Amino acid sequence: MNMVYDSEVKASIENLREEAWEFYNTLLPEYASGKPWRHPIEDLCDEYDRIHPGLNAYELKAAQYEIIAEHFTPHVFDNAPFWFANNIGLKDGAPNRNAGGWLFKRNQHIYRDADPDAFFKFNAWMAKKIHLCCGPYVDSIHYTYPSIIVVSKGFKAFYEEAEAAMPFCQNDDERSFLRAAMRGLFALKRISERFAEAAENRLKFVDDPAKRRNLRIVAGAARYSPWEKPSHFLEGLNALWFCREICGFIEGIGNSHLGRHDYALYDLYRKDIESGYLTEEDAYELVKMFIVLGDSHYDKNETVVGYSDHELEMGFVLGGCDERGEPVWNEVTRMFLRAHREVRAIYPKLHLRFSSISPEGYLEEISRDFLAGRSVASLINDDSVIPALVNMGVTPEDARCYTNCGCWGIALEGMDSVSGGNYYHLITILDLSTRAGSGDIGKEEYEKLDIHIEPFEGALNFEDLYRRFFGNLIRPLRQRCRWIGKYGKLAPKVNPLPIFSSCLTDCIKNRKDFTAGGARYNFNEIDPAEFANAVDALLAIKILCFDRKEVNLDEYLRAVRNNWEGCERLLAKARKCPHFGDESAESVSLSRRLYDDIYANTRDLVNERGGPFQMNFYVYREFKLDAENMCATTDGRKRGDFYAMGICPTRFHREDSMPAMVNSIAALDMNKSVLQSITIQLPIGKMSSGIFTSMLRAFAANKLKHIQINCVNPAELQDARAHPENHQDLVVRICGFSAKFVSLSPEWQEEFMSRYIYQTA
């Protein structure tokens, strides 16, 4: 663009909010519904498939790109100079809500047909709450688009790299991949041009100066950016949205990442400020627009009830360090933190990297939201995550460039993506082990599903019982990973990702799609959930049945199966036993043992792209929603009691101190897991910026990985229930998402208020 950004005309952020709301919730009513959706473009893809029989998945994907490019509806906003809004993708980009999901829906039978028995069992295990997978074998919604590389190079550079690699292809698969990538990248160019055309047409009907400025920018810039490398801060901002909304949806995947804004855009920002193209005020206006466009994707006043209410899988990262290890803290960081707060946004999600060397000003700025009762950010500790990635075989330079995806997944920016939602439910294994000897679980039914449970009954001592539990745990866990490793390899035949892959480091060089293992790193995840419940359950049996011999094992198990009815004294004793989070020698020893055993027994497993499985500890809303139907367990849970969240202790031990909890977690070998999530409630009235920043530095020193903090006042929460109109800005962190407290259902409000508030002094 040759013209200077016109600072004399001022856009209204509230007008933009209204316009974006109308687009996402009125013009696209299906968007808000979240229901399975078929786009008319898919009929055109069906017709192309009929006319061109026998094409492989890459050829069909390339055709899908081109059909979408010519037939989607570009939407330009009058009140913002960005071009990415469209009618092809809904919500998180999952294939069943996305025109780009056509090929996936056409081909997903391949997973089933390869081994119908394994496919049935894999899905039956999910129904039995053994595990979770966001797709058949391969995650379809947690992807990390390499937006930093797109901002630094533009799509044309990837097209030229693919073109240059063509003569070196050694087989048809390599040629098919590169051709599809080139056709797809060129389709992105066409898509951007169509936004320019839409803006030119819209200009014929608009007189307002601010709106005309925005439309003229789109009409000019969309003809070359992000095909060409973005040359201005505004174009860089748009490229981040373009990558999520266009590149994700056209692939039929959920792109859960908007980028590392202060790392990717700082040079463009400084260039524009120094050249006079933008003023600091102009840049801040653009940042506010960027955030409002994300926050307008949904109705934050709708009631949170179910599993994915108020979930957009949309977030961005600030802070951390660069590839040399130098802290990232600059004007762009400040603008995004300030703007997110000023426009009262919940989305896009904020993920804030920090460390022991984070600048004091950065930590103080972070504290402002939390101390105001606005918990919209998660905190990720470089001092723990980076060494864990290095332990997984990542170079230090690459590890320092990690980013966050979705709710909490860790991905290597431009070098790998992340697979989220791969929970493995330890509490289900605990429940099956407890009830298997009584005939309650339908042993034959489970054995037909290849779930062979050795009951706790008859264990001769604690070592025998631990052996049984761990065997029950590790057998299905390893089988699940073997299925993923074997049948996930079919992903290139089901839904290859040539555009996405072409932007990743090494895929073009290797002439291989990401789904075929073409990226520099190829990690998948194992996410054991309810870790504290499992530790506490084993400890209670060990101490009460074998060490103290206060009750025999059969009697203890009967009490649990009867929901502890008539056994209140025994229940109280179970809850008084050493437990995860109390820093006792017994709990530290057993938690280390279980943690290390899971790690050691999964190192030989190979995932669908030829890489290892990394271990993480977190869980989404299952801690409440699944717990409602889970029977009592040997840790002192009664039927319906909540599970432990992430790596947090259970809720039965309110006498524990925060240092004891922190030290219990820190006693685990942090290099063996990439991420562990903890959620902490703190008293808002007793916190100050100094206390908060000191606490973050203590978390960094103790190698805690992922922290979600709420600063709360119980009296305020009670008043918010009674007078919601007075507490519209009270935002709380539930697990991997935040929401207005007054938008939570009564049940979710009750859950939140039942959390223990740690004292800070």
**Of 207, 159, 206, which is closest to residue 179 (Cα–Cα)?**
159
Would you call 713 exposed, middle or buried from its count of C-beta atoms within 10 A (0-12, 13-18, 19+)?
Answer: middle
By three-state DSSP, how is residue 263 classified?
helix
> How far is residue 673's CA from residue 670's CA, in Å, rounded to a whole number?
6
> How far is residue 265's CA from residue 411's CA, in Å, rounded to a whole number?
19
- What integer best gives the mean pLDDT of the chain? 94
Q: State pLDDT tens for residues 597-619.
A: 999 999 999 999 999 999 999 99
- What is the distance between the terminal CA atoms of the chain, rounded to a whole angstrom? 56
33 backbone dihedrals φ, ψ, rounded to 5°: -75, -35
pLDDT above 70: residue 8? no
Both tokens assigned to 642: 């909540």
Q: For a pLDDT cut of 70, what percent of the chain falls above it?
A: 97
Q: Is the dihedral of CA 188, 189, 192, 194 positive or negative?
A: negative
Of 425-439, 510-524, 678-692, highest mean pLDDT:
510-524
pTM of the model: 0.95
Give the per-residue pLDDT at 36: 62
pLDDT-based confidence at residue 1 (cuts at 50, 70, 90): very low
Give the per-residue pLDDT at 759: 83
- Residue keyed to tokens 């998660």: 378
Q: Span 51-79, mean pLDDT?
A: 97
Q: Do 495 and 59 touch, CB atoms closer than 8 A?
A: no
Give the per-residue pLDDT at 2: 42
**Of 654, 475, 507, 674, which is closest to residue 581 (Cα–Cα)?**
654
Q: Where are the extended beta strands (E) located within 217-298?
A: none
Total residues found in the chain within this entry: 761
Q: State pLDDT tens for residues 232-250.
A: 999 999 999 999 999 999 9
| CA 577 to the chain's CA centroid | 35
> How far is residue 517's CA from residue 231's CA, in Å, rounded to a whole number?
32
Both tokens assigned to 722: 């009674």
pLDDT above 60: residue 58? yes
Q: State pLDDT tens for residues 153-162.
A: 999 999 999 9
pLDDT above 90: residue 12? no
pLDDT-based confidence at residue 406 (cuts at 50, 70, 90): confident
> How far is residue 514's CA from residue 521's CA, in Å, rounded to a whole number?
10
**Of 621, 648, 622, 653, which is closest to residue 637 (Cα–Cα)?**
653
Amino acid at 663: N
**Of 417, 622, 446, which is closest to residue 517 (Cα–Cα)?**
417
> How far is residue 110's CA from residue 272's CA, in Å, rounded to a whole number?
50
> How far is residue 704's CA from residue 403's CA, in Å, rounded to a whole number?
17
Q: State pLDDT tens for residues 208-224.
A: 999 999 999 999 999 99
> How far is residue 181's CA from residue 391's CA, in Å, rounded to a whole number?
33
pLDDT above 70: residue 5? no
Give the per-residue pLDDT at 10: 62
- Residues paired with 131 in a beta bridge: 424
Give the per-residue pLDDT at 439: 74
Give the per-residue pLDDT at 35: 63
pLDDT above 70: residue 32? no
pLDDT above 70: residue 11? no
Q: Span 49-54, mean pLDDT?
A: 98
Q: Span 660-664, mean pLDDT?
A: 95
Angle, CA 133 vertex, CA 472 and CA 377 arms, to 5°: 110
pLDDT-based confidence at residue 93 (cuts at 50, 70, 90): confident
Q: Span 682-686, mean pLDDT?
A: 87
> How far is residue 74's CA from residue 115's CA, in Å, rounded to a whole number?
41
- Residue keyed to tokens 């977030």: 315
Among 8-17, 333-342, 713-722, the minimum mean pLDDT is found in: 8-17
Give the per-residue pLDDT at 30: 58
Both tokens assigned to 140: 């379809």
Q: Do 131 and 423 touch, CB atoms closer than 8 A?
A: yes
Both tokens assigned to 278: 């933008």
Alpha helices in 553-617 (DSSP H): 553-561, 568-576, 585-600
Return the domain boundaries, the chain: 13-107+147-289, 116-137+414-646
pLDDT above 70: residue 24? yes
354 backbone dihedrals φ, ψ, rounded to 5°: -150, 170
pLDDT above 70: residue 34? no
Q: Do 661 and 668 touch, CB atoms closer than 8 A?
A: no
- Residues paired with 255 in a beta bridge: 143
> How far is residue 235's CA from residue 230's CA, in Å, rounded to a whole number?
5
Amino acid at 501: S
Q: State pLDDT tens for residues 249-278.
A: 999 998 889 999 999 999 999 999 999 999
Q: State pLDDT tens for residues 691-712.
A: 999 999 999 999 999 999 999 9
638 DSSP assignment: P
- Residue keyed to tokens 């979930």: 311
Among 49-53, 263-267, 396-400, 686-690, the minimum mean pLDDT is found in: 686-690
Give the per-residue pLDDT at 53: 97
366 or 761, greater pLDDT: 366
**Of 643, 706, 703, 700, which is closest to residue 677 (Cα–Cα)?**
706
Both tokens assigned to 757: 């508030």
